[in-house]
Amino acid sequence: GVTVVVVPLISLRADMKARCSHAGIECVEWDSRRPQEWASIVLVTPESAVSEGFGNFINRQRSMGRLNRIMVDECHVVLDSMKSWRTRMLRLRELVKAETQLVYLTATMRRRDENTFLRLMGLPPKDQCHWFRGQTTRKNIQYQVKKYNLEKEDEAVKELVDEKKRQYPMPSQIIVYCGTVARTIKLAGILGCVCYHRQAGNRKEKEEMLRQLTERQQQVFTATNALGLGIDA
């Protein structure tokens, strides 16, 4: 059978494909020009998942009895779509027409947002869905609050990063998350490091950045939340 996995970013799709290949699992990225009818796992972006071509693929798989389930990874991004970020993702509600098992994965959706999510996706009420919960925390997480003058924010960040580089030398890594692309680029220049955001080069260049991160070839990165979505961590 086939499992369809909807992933929000191309970089995440490539990362998941590489991990499946390493595990010996037949996995392909959806290509409307060359549909892979017999793959075990098909990775597809949200926009392609609701296209006519992919809909025809789903119908063929279902008619052959091969469609096992459809999974939507990082499904909480649907809530972000209400704020104009890739609003086409709201069309993922059309997946219910596939009449197969639907599995939605997230590690960050708040409980208070669950009913909104169900409504947006056209799913049954909460008590009619199966919920599986697990721990999303890690034992080695430590929180620390640093106070600084706003005018000296850049210096404060650099001082903190330099401190952590001494405390955690390679192969340990440091990621500085920023609220905007402009801030990400500016801090990367100050820190002399790699920066990752949605506009950071073409697909191959982004894949190379992710490879440097996952293979621990770079110690410091600045990034927007696109980095978190781009890695199957």
CATH number, domain with residue 208: 3.40.50.300
- Quote the CA–CA distance of 129 and 103 in Å, as a whole number: 10
Per-residue model confidence (pLDDT) at position 35: 75
Q: Return averaged pLDDT per consecutive 10 residues of the chain, 233 residues in all.
A: 87 80 90 84 90 92 94 88 64 89 92 94 94 82 88 94 93 91 94 87 77 82 77 48
The verdict on residue 70 lying in a domain is yes
32 and 92 in a single domain? The answer is yes
The verdict on residue 134 lying in a domain is no
Helix spans in 64-180 (H): 77-81, 114-120, 153-167
162 and 209 in a single domain? The answer is yes
115 and 208 in a single domain? The answer is no
Counting the structural domains of the chain, the total is 2
80 and 193 in a single domain? The answer is no
Domain extent at residue 59: 2-128
The verdict on residue 133 lying in a domain is no
What DSSP string describes 185-230?
HHHHHHHT-EEE-TTSS-HHHHHHHHHHHHTT--SEEEE-THHHHT
Q: H/E element holding 102?
A: strand 101-104
Residue 210 is which amino acid? Answer: L
